[in-house]
Amino acid sequence: MDLAYIETLREALHKVSGYIYPNDLELQWSVLIVLYPYITGLVAGAFVLASLERVFDVKVLKPTYRLSLLVALAFLLVAPLPLNVHLGHPERGIEIFLTPHTSSAMAMFGFVYLWYLMVVLLMEVWLDYRREIVEWSRSETFWPKRVFYKVLTLGVDNISPRSLEIDDKLGRILTVVGLPSALLLHGYVGFIFGSIKANPWWSTPLMPVIFIFSAMASGIAGVMLIYMFMCWVRKVRIDMPCLDTIGKFLLTAIIVAFSLEMLEMLQTVYEAEEHFDIISLLVEGKLFVSMILVQIVMGSLTPIALLGVLQLAELREKTRKFICALSGVLALIGILAMRWNVVIGGQFFSKSLRGFTTYKMEFAGREGLLSAIILGLLPLAILAVLLYLLPPWPKEDQAKAS
């Protein structure tokens, strides 16, 4: 037997407490698989916020409608990258389209992703911006941007009232179709975990629903923070009725997600099957900080309390802004911790249910912390470009900002 392999095995066993199977020595899913559902959740939540104005006629959210679409698009463009980097051979990712397997949930995600990106989201953004794109293609003085807008018109420069009315109707239809598509895009992630019956930490029918509602919370919180930041950068007054309404929807999403998580936890405690002892040891030990303190206390209970105060008390505008911003940041941290606890925490115990292993995240490797940070910031860089090329602000606000 290779001496290097024996030495590696010996080092791995030093990190283990209890009895584990040999194939459990290393975690198969790294921090990139934590980042993947986190990014797709932001996509789904941002689109849900946009649909509240377009489909459910919540007009007070109009200041964030286009911003929500651009946030969803920016994060959707990056969504598959963590999976591709994790594969080690990203060039093979195209195989899911060339040789589709309907029995593979992961392969079917590629088609859901392609449908949502190419048909739903890109078409909706184009229809919503078509009038401005035509106007910019005629009035833009910087020739590279003018050429870009000219190409973006796709040869359609009719902006008569009748054509714009048709655009609006088609956009509404796409939003109605896109809403279940966005939920399906993220719900399938929870489906993958929930269908892995070999792991009692994941195998629960509530997993897809928990993922969907936590995605709503993360997307709403993300759009809210970006909206507040952009108003500060552009020196434009925040629309407080809009911000208060976003806070109400964020509170609702966090409450529902937290309630479902606690319901799933209570069911596990009540059933107390053979895996309960190892799960309780995991929660009390390795996951105590990330799950109890970060996910539950800091990421769920604290935002619920803060946003609840906004609904019960009349506070100054500055205080309300601070509470919304703090709640949004804490919610995003808590949901990231939830993804960590599900993906990494679910791999901490062996299939023997008698031992634990550890996960040491490298910094500069292919699946290290640096890669996760770059992939996590990449959607924000793409969003900055989209905001420059397709500003979502009303013309009067753009004039004030300039």
pLDDT band at 194 (very low <50, low <70, confident <90, very high): low
Backbone angles phi, psi at 225, to 5 degrees: -65, -40
Angstrom distance (rounded) from CA 133 to CA 388: 13
* pLDDT at res. 3: 60
* CB 48 within 8 Å of CB 357: no
pLDDT in tens, 235-291: 999 999 999 999 999 999 999 999 998 888 887 777 656 666 777 777 888 888 989
* pLDDT at res. 106: 72
pLDDT in tens, 123-137: 999 999 999 999 999
pLDDT in tens, 143-154: 889 999 999 998
* pLDDT at res. 238: 94
What whole-number percentage of the chain has pLDDT above 70?
Answer: 86
Q: Could you write out the three-class secondary structure of 248-298? A: HHHHHHHHHHHHHHHHHHHHHHHHCCCCHHHHHHHHHCCCHHHHHHHHHHH
Please give the single-letter amino acid code of residue 164: L
pLDDT band at 399 (very low <50, low <70, confident <90, very high): very low
**Rounded to a whole number, what is the distance in angstroms from the first to the last CA of the chain?**
70
Q: What is the DSSP letter of 90?
A: G
* CB 215 within 8 Å of CB 56: no
358-359-360-363 Cα dihedral, nearest 10 degrees: 180
1 pLDDT more than 60: no
Delimit the domains of the chain by residue range. 47-195+366-390, 200-359
Return the sign of the alpha-carbon dihedral for residues 226, 230, 232, 237.
Answer: negative
* CB 181 within 8 Å of CB 120: yes
Task: Identify the weakest region by mean pLDDT among 28-42, 169-183, 265-279, 331-345.
Answer: 265-279
Listed residue (319, 307, 239, 311) closest to 67, CA to CA: 239
Average pLDDT of span 83-89: 81
Average pLDDT of span 51-78: 92
Average pLDDT of span 182-203: 71
* pLDDT at res. 16: 52
Please state, rounded to an integer, the average pLDDT across all residues of the chain.
Answer: 84
pLDDT band at 10 (very low <50, low <70, confident <90, very high): low
Average pLDDT of span 347-354: 69
Task: Identify the weakest region by mean pLDDT among 44-48, 174-178, 294-298.
Answer: 174-178
- pTM for the full predicted model: 0.88
Task: Identify the weakest region by mean pLDDT among 244-258, 265-279, 300-314, 372-386.
Answer: 265-279
